[in-house]
Chains A and B, each alone.
Chain A
């Protein structure tokens, strides 16, 4: 049978309490009996003495009145006697308390217990025998007991007993129990919990022996903990490089796959192998090779981001897991950075070493859904990179490889094109539907490559938006458009120019300031300049964007919301931003002849009228469309019906023809 220490202590104390209180009860009742015996004996002695005194002094029955004072004194001096009476048979001769007019004949109850006898008898009685002449006379001397006083006295006695032998021992036992609990059982329980759960370290104990045990346990557990940590690290760390090893990679990869699966997110698995590393080991020795690997590890740790995971899984093989990238281009930039840094000139113990690395890339989940397939496919891709001449990277699929390579090439070409002045602005007229006059143009970018000819904006603008080149290109567009405006102004071509501005441009803090400055320098009337934005800007709404739009509007520049109806088309944007023109997307105008299509166009035009926003229809190709727009009182249109986007000089001709 196993006892809990707390229960054991309680058990022993309960036994002690039981024994103590059994003794206590025995002595209490014995003492109560003794006390009753003493009281009874005293009263009996007193009554006998009084009876004797009276017997010797009484000469006649009437003399009893002369002893009233004696009886009064006896009664008053004894708390347990309420009154004393002398009776002749049942006739009351004298009583010390007149309140007792009659003394009942009650037989004296003799009991085994003095206490019961004392408490149950109302009177104690004896005879007074005296001689009246020669005749013996007998009177009854009755002591009327003060039951209330007797009860009170025994109660007092009981209270004292309970306090000294009942309550105080309980307090003492409780104190003992509390002390044992505080200093023994609680510390032991804490030690048990510490030994079992090994979580909270108990504070120092007051009892020396327990404290020694606690100290030893804490010391042992600390040592075990540090050894455990050490073992854990050893099992998961590559001893040469200090990077994670294959075990750690597998654990991390398992967690990452689960997280990515849940979040439906992609990550890149990079397999990096140092080119010709074996020859370094063979020619310069393993110690040089090892030191080189250590330096490479440090370099990788330094150039990669904290969110990237690096592991050394073999002699010169590393795995890098990259989660945070927005595009393959960004990923290729990271890879390029790694390759560039590794291909620097290394000096290991005075030995100059030139190295390069090949990297194979596989993506979760499209190239592998588990660690084995990701490892295998990244390895294949790495060998492909080696096969293609080393010092390069290669994606697992040719298609992806091609897409990424194209993006990289496009990025390069796009930036080069700006330097080579391969970009040109084309202008598409905007026609007032009231008088069919050209009242403005929208400036549209065109890339006329020296090698590939005309490249449509949708082929390079998304990439420019993605890689940030749009900011640079956007500045060029603004400058070119404003320059053209000035030229036309000088030729009295009084039109307004709409310039497309990207979300990235508008999110720059000083965009509005710089734009306004350009207008001021060229003394351009801001009312003649219109900025075209898309709903995408509102989705990425920021303080800077709002600030720039408000500043431009306040300066007098109008704002056009392009492609209205194709995105969120939230009315709250129209309320919140100072929009001057709504441009209805071509897709709506293509359906003008259908009932459903017409409803949409009609609704947008009416809404514009109600909100005091002018409406421009885009992609107008037929006269019927123009007629329809006039009918519904649309403000302007733009499209091939009037003219496709034209070079500046061609537009001039068209404009001049139009005004004649």
Chain B
């Protein structure tokens, strides 16, 4: 009777636990960028549900990074800049997945031409996400076009805010550092492109996913599966860009199909078959490559 009692109680508890037990979700913070659309595609296709992965969508790269830093996400996407910033504090941070190399996707816009910028004595307002690759791009731009001596007023805003700026409302000469697809809104609002990663061969901007080494090892199976899904999404994009666009257009506000197609030219996919040259370059800039899922 005692044995029956113990057995029955344990069975009740066991089945109760089994019925309700579910693994914690893997939370990946992500921002709106053409290079990350394969993740949105996977989400919309409901491929992420079996892997128990949740995407946290924020509007800036730095917000992405801070979410991860605050422990509210398990992995985040970003460029080498966001990686370098955090890796100084977190030695276990490691890149695990590459998405794309910016090939014009990161853009510098202005309400006046480069010549006017060079001539002006006024203070130049520079809108950017300071804690992101935007800073590097701006520094590089100022250096190339000898604008270092100009009086620059750095305005730190996220891209959701920046993308709503209108050139008519601005009185000062203005430089905007943005990226696809936010540039389309800004160009519609009267800004013109001065420079991009396409015409700066020295500047390597790659987009990747980062997480803690321990977390990666613990969830390797899920990340490997996610990598396959990204590859599949990129393949679908190549085969049927229209279908891809229709699936993810909610995540690209105010972006037409044509603009979407144009923005694809601004990135080079490096999710698979990463050129050795890029790997070497990354390695040379203290970017860990050993955990990158090939």
Which partner residue on chain B sits nearest A154 by CB separation? B20
Q: Which of A92-100, A584-592, A621-629 contacts B (4 or more CB under 8 A)?
A: A92-100
Point out the residues of chain A lying under 8 angstroms from B21, CB to CB: 155, 159
Tell me which residues from 58 to 81 in chain B have a Cβ below 8 Å from any Cβ of chain A. Answer: 58-60, 63, 67, 70, 72-73
Q: How many residues of A contact B (CB 8 A)?
A: 30
B250 touches A170 (CB 8 A): no
Which partner residue on chain B sits nearest A174 by CB separation? B6
B164 touches A73 (CB 8 A): no
B119 in the interface, Cβ–Cβ < 8 Å? Answer: no
When chains A and B are docked, how far (Å) is the Cα of A159 from the Cα of B160?
41
B57 touches A97 (CB 8 A): yes
When chains A and B are docked, how far (Å) is the Cα of A72 from the Cα of B13?
40
A523 in the interface, Cβ–Cβ < 8 Å? Answer: no
Point out the residues of chain B lying under 8 angstroms from A155, CB to CB: 20-22
The contact string, 1 if C-beta is below 8 Å from chain B, for chain A 422-436, is 000000000000000
B6 touches A170 (CB 8 A): yes
A76 touches B73 (CB 8 A): yes
Point out the residues of chain B lying under 8 angstroms from A69, CB to CB: 58-60, 63, 158, 160-161
In-complex Cβ contact of B63 among A73, A158, A167 (8 A): A73
Which partner residue on chain B sits nearest A97 by CB separation? B57
Tell me which residues from 158 to 214 in chain B have a Cβ below 8 Å from any Cβ of chain A. Answer: 158, 160-161, 164
B67 touches A170 (CB 8 A): no
A96 touches B67 (CB 8 A): no
When chains A and B are docked, how far (Å) is the Cα of A152 from the Cα of B5?
30
Point out the residues of chain A lying under 8 angstroms from B16, CB to CB: 162
A162 touches B58 (CB 8 A): no
Point out the residues of chain B lying under 8 angstroms from A76, CB to CB: 29, 56-58, 63, 67, 72-73
Which partner residue on chain A sits nearest B40 by CB separation? A98
When chains A and B are docked, how far (Å) is the Cα of A152 from the Cα of B27?
14
A516 in the interface, Cβ–Cβ < 8 Å? Answer: no
The contact string, 1 if C-beta is below 8 Å from chain B, for chain A 125-167, is 0000000000000000000000001001001001100100011
When chains A and B are docked, how far (Å) is the Cα of A159 from the Cα of B22?
11
B9 touches A152 (CB 8 A): no
A303 in the interface, Cβ–Cβ < 8 Å? Answer: no
Tell me which residues from 9 to 35 in chain A have a Cβ below 8 Å from any Cβ of chain B. Answer: 10, 14
A159 touches B20 (CB 8 A): yes
When chains A and B are docked, how far (Å) is the Cα of A68 from the Cα of B57?
11
B2 touches A10 (CB 8 A): yes
B160 touches A66 (CB 8 A): yes
B223 in the interface, Cβ–Cβ < 8 Å? Answer: no
Point out the residues of chain B lying under 8 angstroms from A97, CB to CB: 57
Q: What's the minimum C-beta distance from A522 to chain B, rounded to whole angstroms?
A: 90
The contact string, 1 if C-beta is below 8 Å from chain A, for chain B 22-56, is 10110001000000000000011000000000001
B63 touches A162 (CB 8 A): no
When chains A and B are docked, how far (Å) is the Cα of A75 from the Cα of B27?
13
Given contacts A10-B1, A69-B158, A98-B251, contact A166 B13 (CB under 8 A): yes
When chains A and B are docked, how far (Å) is the Cα of A65 from the Cα of B2?
66
When chains A and B are docked, how far (Å) is the Cα of A170 from the Cα of B5?
10
A170 touches B164 (CB 8 A): no
When chains A and B are docked, how far (Å) is the Cα of A10 from the Cα of B20?
31
When chains A and B are docked, how far (Å) is the Cα of A170 from the Cα of B29?
42
B285 in the interface, Cβ–Cβ < 8 Å? Answer: no
Q: What's the minimum C-beta distance from A184 to chain B, rounded to whole angstroms?
A: 13
B59 touches A68 (CB 8 A): yes
Given contacts A98-B251, A155-B22, A170-B10, contact A72 B17 (CB under 8 A): no
Which partner residue on chain B sits nearest A7 by CB separation? B1
Which partner residue on chain B sits nearest A166 by CB separation? B13
When chains A and B are docked, how far (Å) is the Cα of A96 from the Cα of B32?
11
A177 in the interface, Cβ–Cβ < 8 Å? Answer: yes
When chains A and B are docked, how far (Å) is the Cα of A96 from the Cα of B251?
10
Q: What's the minimum C-beta distance from A181 to chain B, rounded to whole angstroms?
A: 7
A657 in the interface, Cβ–Cβ < 8 Å? Answer: no
When chains A and B are docked, how far (Å) is the Cα of A98 from the Cα of B30?
13
In-complex Cβ contact of A170 among B1, B9, B73 (8 A): B9
Point out the residues of chain A lying under 8 angstroms from B56, CB to CB: 75-76
A66 touches B164 (CB 8 A): yes
Point out the residues of chain B lying under 8 angstroms from A166, CB to CB: 13
Tell me which residues from 535 to 576 in chain A have a Cβ below 8 Å from any Cβ of chain B. Answer: none
A351 in the interface, Cβ–Cβ < 8 Å? Answer: no
Q: How many A-B residue pairs have CB under 8 A?
A: 78
Which partner residue on chain A sits nearest B249 by CB separation? A98
Q: What's the minimum C-beta distance from B50 to chain A, rounded to whole angstroms?
A: 14
Tell me which residues from 112 to 128 in chain A have a Cβ below 8 Å from any Cβ of chain B. Answer: none
Point out the residues of chain A lying under 8 angstroms from B63, CB to CB: 69, 72-73, 76
Tell me which residues from 217 to 276 in chain A have a Cβ below 8 Å from any Cβ of chain B. Answer: none
Given contacts A76-B72, A162-B13, A167-B13, contact A98 B22 (CB under 8 A): no
Q: What's the minimum C-beta distance from B9 to chain A, rounded to whole angstroms?
A: 5
When chains A and B are docked, how far (Å) is the Cα of A99 from the Cα of B40?
10
Tell me which residues from 105 to 131 in chain B have a Cβ below 8 Å from any Cβ of chain A. Answer: none
A459 in the interface, Cβ–Cβ < 8 Å? Answer: no
Point out the residues of chain A lying under 8 angstroms from B13, CB to CB: 162, 166-167, 170
The contact string, 1 if C-beta is below 8 Å from chain B, for chain A 34-53, is 00000000000000000000
A101 in the interface, Cβ–Cβ < 8 Å? Answer: yes
Q: What's the minimum C-beta distance from B267 to chain A, rounded to whole angstroms?
A: 20
Tell me which residues from 69 to 108 in chain B have a Cβ below 8 Å from any Cβ of chain A. Answer: 70, 72-73
B58 touches A98 (CB 8 A): no
Point out the residues of chain B lying under 8 angstroms from A162, CB to CB: 13, 16-17
Point out the residues of chain B lying under 8 angstroms from A72, CB to CB: 57-59, 63, 160
Point out the residues of chain B lying under 8 angstroms from A68, CB to CB: 59, 158, 160-161
When chains A and B are docked, how far (Å) is the Cα of A557 from the Cα of B251?
123
A77 touches B158 (CB 8 A): no
When chains A and B are docked, how far (Å) is the Cα of A99 from the Cα of B56?
12
Q: What's the minimum C-beta distance from B118 to chain A, rounded to whole angstroms?
A: 31
Tell me which residues from 271 to 301 in chain A have a Cβ below 8 Å from any Cβ of chain B. Answer: none
Q: What's the minimum C-beta distance from B169 to chain A, rounded to whole angstroms?
A: 12
A152 touches B250 (CB 8 A): no
In-complex Cβ contact of A98 among B1, B5, B24, B253 (8 A): B253
In-complex Cβ contact of B22 among A75, A96, A152 (8 A): A152
In-complex Cβ contact of B67 among A14, A77, A152 (8 A): A77
Which partner residue on chain B sits nearest A98 by CB separation? B250
A96 touches B57 (CB 8 A): yes
**Most chain B Cβ neighbours within 10 Å, of A98, A159, A162, A167:** A98
When chains A and B are docked, how far (Å) is the Cα of A75 from the Cα of B59?
12
A77 touches B72 (CB 8 A): yes
B58 touches A65 (CB 8 A): no
Which partner residue on chain A sits nearest B71 by CB separation? A77
Tell me which residues from 168 to 226 in chain A have a Cβ below 8 Å from any Cβ of chain B. Answer: 170, 174, 177, 181
**Most chain A Cβ neighbours within 10 Å, of B2, B17, B158, B164:** B2
**Most chain A Cβ neighbours within 10 Å, of B1, B160, B161:** B160
**Most chain B Cβ neighbours within 10 Å, of A14, A69, A96:** A69
Which partner residue on chain B sits nearest A148 by CB separation? B25
In the complex, 30 of the A-B residue pairs with CB atoms within 8 angstroms, ordered by the A residue number, are A10-B5, A65-B160, A66-B161, A66-B164, A69-B59, A69-B60, A72-B58, A72-B59, A73-B58, A73-B67, A76-B29, A76-B56, A76-B67, A76-B73, A77-B70, A96-B57, A98-B57, A98-B253, A99-B250, A149-B25, A155-B20, A158-B20, A162-B16, A162-B17, A166-B13, A170-B6, A170-B9, A170-B10, A174-B6, A181-B2
Which residues of B does A touch, CB under 8 Å? 1-2, 5-6, 9-10, 13, 16-17, 20-22, 24-25, 29, 43-44, 56-60, 63, 67, 70, 72-73, 158, 160-161, 164, 250-251, 253
Which residues of A does B touch, CB under 8 Å? 6, 10, 14, 65-66, 68-69, 72-73, 75-77, 79, 96-99, 101, 149, 152, 155, 158-159, 162, 166-167, 170, 174, 177, 181
- The 7 A-B pairs with the shortest beta carbon distances in the complex, nearest first, are A98-B250, A68-B160, A69-B158, A72-B58, A76-B56, A155-B20, A69-B59
11 further contact pairs, Cβ within 8 A, besides A69-B60, A97-B57, A170-B10: A65-B164, A68-B160, A69-B158, A72-B63, A73-B63, A79-B72, A99-B43, A155-B20, A170-B9, A174-B2, A174-B6
